[in-house]
Amino acid sequence: MMLLRAFNAPRVLITVMGNDLLCPVIRCQPGVYKPGCFPLFTSPKFTAPENRQEPPASKDAKPIKKKGRAGNAIANPFSVFSAGAAKRRYELNQKRAGETTGIKDNVSKKDTISVPSKPLSAEEWKILKEELNMIQQFEDKMMAHIITSNGDINVAKSLLVFVAKENGIEYKLLVKYLALCVHQNQTSEIYDVYEIMKAKFKTLETGAYSLFIKGFSQSDRWEESLTMLETMKKTIIPSRKNYSDCILGALNKKKGNIAWDLYHEMLESNLVPSLDTLKAFFDTGKAMKDGMFKRELLKVLLYMRDNQIYPDEAFMQSIKSWFESIPGEDWKGCVSAVENSGRCQRCRQSLESIHLNQEEYDNLKDVILNDVIQGTDTFRKTTPEELRQFQKFVGSRPPYDIVIDGLNVAGICGRGCRSQILLDIVSHLAQQNLRLLMLGRKHMLKASGSWWRSHMAVIQQKADCFFTENISEDDPFLLYATLNSGNHCKFITRDLLRDHKACLPDTQTQRLFFKWQRGHQLVLPFYTPGKQVMFQPILNYDTIVQTTADTWHIPYDMDNVERASYEVPRKWLCLQRQDSMV
Amino acid sequence: MRFLNIVLKKTVTFTVFQSVIPKGTRKCLFLGIPHKPPPCRTLLLSLGMRKEDAHPLPTEKLNLDEWKNIMKSSLPEEASDEILEREGDWDSSLTAIRELVEMWRLAGKAVPESISEEQLKVLMELPTKSSRRKYLKHLAIKERFKNAKKAKKEKLKAERNDTLERPVAAEEQRAPRNSFFLTFWQRSIDNLHLWRAAQSMLFGQPLVFDMVYDKVMSRREMENTVNQLLETEGWNRKSPDPFHIHFCSLHADGPYHEELLKRYGEAWDKLLLTATEKAHVDLFPKGKLVYLTADSPNVMKMYEHDKIYIIGSLVDKSQQTGLSLANAKRLNLATARLPLEKFLHWETGAKNLTLDQMIRILLTLKDTGDWQQALAFVPKRKHEGFIDIQKKMELERKRKMYQFGSRTKNIDKPSAGSLTKGSKQKRWWEED
């Protein structure tokens, strides 16, 4: 039994596969398993960093009953949708391919220009210009180099003196100089440049405005950055960076109202605020003890929930310390992980289920049928005839437990007879008395080296099969059949289904789809013919910012893990009110 | 006071001039001089002027903010210029965006120097920042080409004028040549082409351009499509045995028609091709139609002279895969694609070719039936040269023999081997 726990199987999986089946597998490769990591990536090289990331969690966490390896393994199952999975696959792939990575250093551009270390006089600049033999754009290039090397501002000034004497300073060069000033926070210089530009040019363009906004917002004249933002709005929607700078400026001066107004305005024009902006609100929130600020901050958290925005580590710390600073409410926050059962390790509370509610489910089903399968033109993915046939086929049978993407499953291991692999997996599932539907294409029925007729005949006995035309797409059918069978039905494919997700009309539906996918997709990461079939666990809790009356659970991104867009974080911030605990 | 200043300036510059000559020894002595008179502007200026040979001087004495004064002093006239430039009664938002574009140009971004009101309106209607940026860049590039062309034309004109002026005397001396033809003018060649085209209208093999894609294309894509159609028609006309081109499902006053009229002008009514509102399936027997599309599962083996090939006139920059295949499926037509993989080491780029490349390939196939020659029109950047067919067949034969011998051992080898990249094993996350 202990071995079973070590394997870290979720309940769903156990119901699917039966407990007794797991033991022999684990006995096969006893040494390989590392806690907290799925067997797919078991080579020591890849598991080691994973374990190193664990300590902060276990330091804070209460020592829950640990029994050797088994206890630790409960948290953090590693599925395809966990943060960092794509990166690992990539690395593994690189390693397997035997390619040497990291020889990416770009051929250094011919770096002929070296920035002078101290200011030069006009004559010296002239000589330098002639030496470099670069008559055109000498000033621009030199200024760009000063910016990139973060050079002395006096050097830039002396360059400007030279250019002013020579042929007059152009707008381009002024903006570059401004960028340097803003970068080095030379407030008085920014003011001067502003005066000059305002007098010399009737209007400015977005680049200069952005720089001025950035420069002014941190200074005493921060209110002028707001007027500049207004000016920009006349012609173009300001970027989120512009808003962010203004908000930071307002927050610096403790003008909460203005900052929140800007924030709401930004959301209205469909800009997604950066994490830094949100973090600044929480940081300021610690000093602001009014009710409005608190309400708004809680709204920010709900906004993050609705849009699946996950904080990074620094931001998580800000959220935590803000909660802990709320007077009168004794919040306690700590870093935690979530068990496969969906309980937070820290507070033992169950998280939200991954399952969609009925309304969402029906909605998703309609959208999949209308947008993914039919789309604007049914002929692009299938034919109306075939679709009708399929709907009739699915409708005439009782709901399935598992829908299998035949072609995808059969291609799991590069060698081996495809129909044999498919047969193995189908018969493995059939043993558990599951109702199966296998989707494939018609060419599978044609006997060939990789598709044996005898195998296919057995498969058709054990599972219902539907074969689409060779030029039709089978994935949309897979999605529809699964959705049609109801909430308990799972599907098997290794495909990440990103192209189908992209067909969905809006981001909200895409998120719904992704949530459903995480809850219903069984992934068979690898398979060796003749060996035991093992699926990756399905997590039955949703990774999303969530709250109950006296807790908040906020998933966050670790700094040293790269998360792809189709993955979710694995670490959590658990916040709870102490008074209610006691 | 002013007089005094001038005197001061003169004396100081004089002393400087003097002191420059004896280098080295008197340098230290000379250093003290500027400090003596009461500090004033002219003095500082003169100091700045001789900075070059004063390396040991501490750098703080450089007047670093001098450029500000220069900028400020040059303000009035430039500012008035700007205002004068912007006179005129535009409505305010258009003026604002025009000014913004102008400032972008000053900031060194890719925007056109002059922009018409119509273009500005198009710009305003674009929804996103990136689309605006792209449109402006497109206009800028277009303008640059236009200017370059203009410059070239003027240069040629000047050269021609030169040559015309020079050999006047020589021309008089030249005796009348004994020539079989009068000068062979382009008009005669055009006539020849038109004859051939007229013949093809009567007896030629039809080639259909399917014009049903107006809904799926953006404005730019539509312009590009018509560009390609123009070129296509040109290549066809110049070939020894032209196709009889059909523009099918071309609706009057639709976007295609509008754009074609804009490009051809009056010549549109004189073109020797068939433009019709009818669909290809209404004009020709279904069994003879073959829809050419890169998404087709069937590879074209050889060119058939009794078939009617259909090309979708579509430029697809947004990668809407399967559009033309869907059309063919809907009408239940045969489809085919070019055997690009069979003949070429494909390197990069999409397998869909432009319309003019397609017609050149088809024309060559029609004349010679030689794939190598025909596929020479595939852009060179997309492939790494032709596959040696003979060698490949030989290899295939050898492999088959080997497999036959060892069949019992590895029954699954053929499937892996027959893949083009058999050596590279597919990972589980790679999509099918």
A557-568 residue pLDDT tens: 999 888 888 888
Q: How far is B167 from chain A (nearest CA, A)?
A: 41
Which member of A379, A471, A495 has the closest CB to residue B297?
A471
Q: Which of the residues A379, A418, A496, A527 would you substitute to probe the B interface, choosing the one with the greatest number of B C-beta atoms within 10 Å?
A: A379
Contact residues on chain A for B103, CB-CB shorter than 8 A: 171, 201, 203-205, 208
DSSP A374: I
With residues binned 3-state (H G I as helix, E B as strand, rest as coil), the percentages for chain A, rounded to 5, are 55, 10, 40
- Answer whether residue A425 shows pLDDT above 60: yes
A54 to chain B nearest CA, in Å? 27
B78 to A119: CB separation less than 8 angstroms, yes or no:
no
pLDDT exceeds 90 at position B236? yes
Q: Is A410 helix (H, G, I), strand (E, B) or coil?
A: helix
Query: CA nearest A75: which of A346, A436, A378?
Result: A346
Which chain B residues are Cβ-neighbours of A412 within 8 angstroms?
428
Question: For A89, which residue in chain B has the nearest alpha carbon?
Answer: B429
Q: How far is B29 from chain A (nearest CA, A)?
A: 22
**CB contacts, 8 Å: B129 with chain A:** 236-237, 239
Enter the pTM of the model.
0.74
**Mind telling me how many Å the CA of A412 is from chain B's nearest CA?**
6
Residue with more model confidence, B90 or A487: A487
Report chain B residues whose CB lies below 8 A from the CB of A205. Answer: 100, 103-104, 106-107, 109
| Nearest CB neighbour to B71, from listed A118, A200, A383 | A200
**Residues in chain B within 8 Å Cβ distance of A235:** 93, 96-97, 100
At A551 the three-state DSSP class reads strand
pLDDT at B185: 84
Tell me whether residues A175 and B107 touch, CB distance under 8 A: yes
- Per-residue pLDDT at B347 exceeds 80: yes
Residue of chain B with shortest Cα separation from A158: B64
Question: How many angstroms away from the CA of B96 is the closest CA of chain A?
Answer: 7
CB contact under 8 A, A89 and B429: yes
Of A164, A200, A379, the CB nearest to B330: A379
Distance, in Å, from the CA atom of B403 to the CA atom of A443, rounded to the nearest integer, reads 23
Q: How far is A356 from chain B (nearest CA, A)?
A: 26
Mean pLDDT of B288-304: 93
Q: How far is B346 from chain A (nearest CA, A)?
A: 22
* A148 Cα to chain B: minimum distance (Å): 18
The predicted pLDDT at position B312 comes to 94
| Predicted local confidence at residue B221, as pLDDT | 92
Structure token digits, residue A49: 């960093």
Identify which of B280, B284, B277, B208 has the alpha carbon closest to the alpha carbon of residue B246. Answer: B208
List, in sequence order, the alpha helices (H) in A309-417. Answer: 313-325, 358-367, 384-395, 406-410
Q: Which helix (H) or strand (E) holds A441?
A: strand A436-441
The C-alpha atoms of residue A188 and residue B64 are separated, in whole angstroms, by 14
For residues B56 and B51, give the distance between their C-alpha atoms in angstroms, rounded to a whole number.
Answer: 10
> Would you tell me how many other CB atoms lie within 10 Å of the CB of residue B29?
10
- How do B274-275 and B244-248 pair as beta strands? parallel
Of B52, B62, B72, the CB nearest to A119: B62
B187: number of Cβ within 10 Å: 8
B27 or B292, greater pLDDT: B292
pLDDT of residue A346: 86
Q: Which of the residue ranges A123-137, A432-446, B143-157, B331-345 would you say has the lowest mean pLDDT?
A: A123-137
Residue A504 CB: number of other CB atoms within 10 A? 19
Residue A4 has pLDDT above 80, yes or no: no
Q: Which residues of B touch A154 (CB under 8 A)?
A: 59, 62, 64
With beta carbons under 8 A apart, name residues in chain B contacting A525.
Answer: 428
DSSP H or E segment with residue B105: helix B92-106
Which two three-digit tokens encode residue A553?
A: 């659970």
Given this model, what pLDDT does residue B172 score?
A: 59
Task: Show residues of chain B in contact with A496, CB under 8 Å.
Answer: 429, 431
Residue B59 scores a pLDDT above 60: no
Q: Any residues with CB less than 8 A from the CB of A176 and at least 6 apart, and which?
A: A140, A143, A144, A147
pLDDT for the residue numbered B371 = 92
Residue A394 to residue A388: CA distance in whole angstroms: 10
Lowest-pLDDT choice from A43-52, A99-108, A460-469:
A43-52
Residue B118 has pLDDT above 80, yes or no: yes
Give me the interface pTM, i.e. the ipTM. Answer: 0.74
Please state, for a pLDDT cut of 70, what percent of chain A lies above it: 82
Instruction: Tell me how far apart the alpha carbons of residues B35 and B37 are, in angstroms, rounded to a whole number.
Output: 6
Q: Are the beta carbons of A164 and B99 separated by less than 8 Å?
A: no
Query: If we measure between CA atoms, which residue out of B90, B120, B114, B81 comes closest to residue A201?
Result: B81
Length of chain A in terms of residues written: 582
B425 chain-A contacts, CB cut-off 8 A:
414-415
- Å between A416 CA and nearest CA of chain B: 6
Band (pLDDT 50/70/90 cuts) for residue B10 is: low
Q: How close is the nearest chain B Cα to the Cα of A163, in Å?
A: 8
Reported as half-sphere exposure (CB side, CA atoms, 13 A), residue B230 has a value of 17
Residue in B326, B416, B426 nearest the CB of A377: B326
Give the closest of B59, B75, B326 to A380, CB-based.
B326
Rounded to an integer, the average pLDDT of B67-91 is 55
Highest mean pLDDT among A110-114, A163-167, B53-57: A163-167
Q: Residue B248: pLDDT above 60?
A: yes
Asked if A192 lies within 8 A of B68 by C-beta distance, the reply is: yes
pLDDT band for position A411 (cuts 50, 70, 90) = confident
Is residue B379 a contact partner of residue B417, using CB atoms and an 8 Å limit? no
**Top-confidence range, A26-30, A422-426, B37-41, B65-69:** A422-426
C-alpha to C-alpha distance for B259 and B271, rounded to whole angstroms: 15
Q: Which two tokens stand for residue A479?
A: 């999605």
Name the more confident of B18 and B145.
B145
Report the residue of A203, A228, A533 to disrupt the B interface, i.e. the one with the largest count of B CBs within 10 Å.
A203
Contacting residues for A207 by C-beta, under 8 A, at least 6 apart: A175, B107, B109
What amino acid occupies position A312? Answer: D
- In this structure, are residues A275 and A312 in contact, taking their beta carbons and an 8 Å threshold? yes
CB contact (8 A) between residue A199 and residue B72: yes
A chain contacts of residue B412, beta-carbon cutoff 8 Å? 415-417, 449-450
Distance from the A175 Cα atom to the nearest Cα atom in chain B, whole angstroms: 7
Q: Give the nearest chain B residue to A419 (CA atoms).
A: B412
User: What digits encode the pLDDT tens for the residues A513-541?
Assistant: 999 999 999 988 778 777 788 888 888 89
* Contacts with A116 from chain B: Cβ below 8 Å: none
Is B103 close to A201, i.e. CB distance below 8 A?
yes
**At residue B26, what is the residue type?**
R
Residue A47, min C-alpha distance to chain B (Å): 20
> Across the A/B interface, how many CB contacts are shorter than 8 Å?
149
The secondary structure element, H or E, covering residue A13 is helix A11-17
Q: For the beta carbon of residue B159, count every other beta carbon within 10 angstroms.
A: 10
Please state, rounded to an integer, the average pLDDT across all residues of chain B.
78
pLDDT at residue B98, rounded to an integer: 87
> Closest Cα to residue A425, out of A378, A325, A363, A493?
A493
Chain A residues close to B323, C-beta within 8 Å: 377, 380
pLDDT at B68: 74
- When the pLDDT of each residue in chain A is averaged and rounded to a whole number, the result is 81
Inter-chain touch B79–A199, beta carbons under 8 Å: yes
Nearest to A124 among B52, B99, B426 (CB): B52
Rounded to a whole number of angstroms, the CA Rg of chain A reads 30
Judge contact between A158 and A121, C-beta under 8 A.
yes
CB contact under 8 A, A449 and B411: yes
Confidence at residue A283, expressed as pLDDT on a 0 to 100 scale: 93
Which residue has 């035949």 as its token pair? A406
Chain A residue closest in CA terms to B215: A376
Q: CB–CB of A200 and B79 under 8 A?
A: yes
Pairwise CB contact (< 8 Å): B297 & A157: no
Residue B274, strand partner residues: B246
Per-residue model confidence as pLDDT tens digits over A364-406? 999 998 888 888 888 988 999 999 999 999 999 999 999 999 9
Which pLDDT belongs to residue A166? 76
The residue of chain A with its CA nearest to that of B430 is A495
Among A2-6, B123-127, B155-159, the range with the most confident prediction by mean pLDDT is B155-159
User: Looking at this protein, which amino acid is placed at residue A269?
Assistant: S
Q: pLDDT for A255-296, tens place per residue?
A: 889 999 999 999 999 899 999 999 999 999 988 888 889 999
Q: Is the alpha carbon torsion for A214, A220, A222, A224 positive or negative?
A: negative
Closest CB to A411: pick one of B64, B329, B426. Answer: B426
- Residue of chain A whose Cα is closest to the Cα of B325: A380
Stronger pLDDT, A407 or B38, i.e. the higher one: A407
Q: Of B27, B29, B3, B30, which Cα lies nearest the Cα of B14?
A: B30
Q: Which of A146-155, B25-34, B45-54, B272-281 has the highest mean pLDDT?
A: B272-281
Please tell me which residue, B184 or A39, carries the higher pLDDT value. Answer: B184
Report how far residue A227's alpha carbon sits from residue A238's, in angstroms, rounded to the nearest whole number: 12
